[in-house]
Amino acid sequence: MGIFDVYLLEALINGVLLGGVLALLSLGLNLVFGVIDVVWICYAELIMLGMYAMYFLSRVYHAPMVLAAAICIVTVGVLGVLLHVVVIAPLLGAAPINQLLATGGVLFFLQSAATILFGIEFKNLGVRLPVLKVAGMFISYARLLAFGAALIGMVLVYLFLRRTYTGTAIRAIAQDRQIMTLMGVDSRRIYVITSALGGGLAGLAACLLVLQYDVHPFVGLSFGPITFLICVLGGLGNFGGGFVAAFVFAEIISVGGLYLDLEWGYVFAFAFFIAMMFVRPQGLLARRS
């Protein structure tokens, strides 16, 4: 294997690992959109708060990592419910633009509140996870762990959506909102459960991202736009589409970054996104209507 092939393979593997985390990120946003028909513009700011929760629990209160992660997931899940009950639910009958503006307002509110509460310094867990060397390639253990946990998280959500009555109702409500009452489903309850799930996924994402990135009040800007674009690329509300789009995006970023600088990977990815908006504006896996 030539040295170049090794780099390419390494980039491909890193792309898959990144794709797993991006897929997890987009799943939460997609679920909420598919079910409630609202885009949580402030989704990445929930992740930011989760990362701070991890920082404080682990670095300041010295909680064991697994316990900290569990508390983080539950806390952000509760934040998701609060977001729904306080901001979204009262606006459900309002024009979609109002809902967008409101969650956009929450974004700036959370950023500012985090700046006041936590300061603008970059903070991290202070753990250095090893880098594995496999067949001449360097694979970050943190990324591997994040990929594995993201995959487990997604499988659990998948099983929940497939096997349980509530999960089936969540899939159904995304297809026909109005007749859910005929099935005996209280849509408001499903919305709250979905918000908890969306928040919980943001919490899990926070646990994984904080292993690789420093947390600061504006860290959401690094994940928010890309998560949103992945959802759009996959077809907003289309869970399978979002999953595929996450890996496509991650490979473009990872392999594109191989030839030039890492930043070029993002340039390629966003250029690809814009081009796709012309070619397939309805999303990669468009539904046949």
Partner 1 sequence: MLELTRVRAGYGSFQALFDVSLEVRRGEAVGVIGPNGAGKTTLMRVISGLIRPTAGSIVMERVDLLATPPHRIVEIGIAHVPESRRLFPRMTVEDNLKMGGFLPAARPKARRRFDFVYELFPLLRERRRQLAGSMSGGEQQMCAIGRALMSEPKLLLLDEPSAGLAPVVVDLVFALVQRIRAGGVTVLIVEQNVQQVLRIVDRAYVLKAGSIRAAGAAAELRDSAIIREAYLGV
Full DSSP string of 187-245 = HHHHHHHHHHHHHHHHHHHHHHHTTTS-B-TTTHHHHHHHHHHHHHHH-TT-HHHHHHH
* Near partner 1 by CB under 8 A: residue from 9, 12, 129, 172: 172
C-alpha 10/C-alpha 4 separation (Å) is: 10
For the record, the structure tokens of 226 come out as 């890309």
Q: What is the residue-wise DSSP string for 170-191?
A: HHHHTT-SGGGGGGT--HHHHH
Q: Phi then psi for 236, rounded to 5 degrees?
A: -50, 130
Verify binding: residue 178, partner 1, rule CB under 8 A.
yes
Give the interface size with partner 1 as a residue count (CB under 8 A): 18
Using rule CB under 8 A, residue 37 touches partner 1? no
Whole-number minimum distance, CB 234 to partner 1, in Å?
15
Closer residue to partner 1, CB minimum distance, 104 or 167 = 167
Helix/strand/coil (H, E, C) string of 240-282?
HHHHHHHHHHHHHHHHHHHHCCHHHHHHHHHHHHHHHHHHCCC
* 185 is a site residue for partner 1 (CB under 8 A): yes
| Binder among 184, 274, 278, 279 for partner 1 (CB under 8 A) | 184
Using the rule CB under 8 A, is 39 a contact of partner 1? no
Using CA atoms, how far residue 78 sits from 49, 98, 178, 210, 259, in Å, is 12, 23, 27, 19, 43
Least distance CB 192 / partner 1 (angstroms): 14
What is the footprint of partner 1 within residues 187-206 (CB under 8 A)? 187
- The interface region with partner 1, picked from 171-179, 219-227, 244-252, 260-268 by CB under 8 A, is 171-179
- Which CB atom, from 130 or from 184, has the smaller least distance to partner 1? 184
Residue with tokens 């297809």: 175
Check if the beta carbon of residue 208 is closer than 8 Å to that of residue 24.
yes
Report helix, strand or coil for 95.
coil
> Which one of residues 6, 85, 89, 180 is an interface residue with partner 1 (CB under 8 A)?
180
Our CB check for partner 1 shows the closer of 101 and 172 to be 172
159 near partner 1, judged by CB under 8 A: no
Nearer to partner 1, 4 or 165 (CB): 165
Please report whether residue 279 would count as binding partner 1 according to CB under 8 A. no
3-state secondary structure of 39: coil
Question: Residue 147 has which token pair?
Answer: 């990929």
Residue nearer to partner 1 on the CB measure, 78 or 180: 180
Among 168, 212, 264, 276, binds partner 1 (CB under 8 A): 168
Phi-psi category of residue 62: left, alpha or beta, with phi > 0 → left and psi -120 to 50 → alpha = left
Q: Determine, following the binding rule CB under 8 A, whether residue 181 of this chain makes contact with partner 1.
A: yes
68 vs 173 by CB, closer to partner 1: 173
Does the footprint of partner 1 cover residue 171 (CB under 8 A)?
yes
Contacts with partner 1 by CB under 8 A lie at 165, 168-169, 171-172, 175-176, 178-187, 287
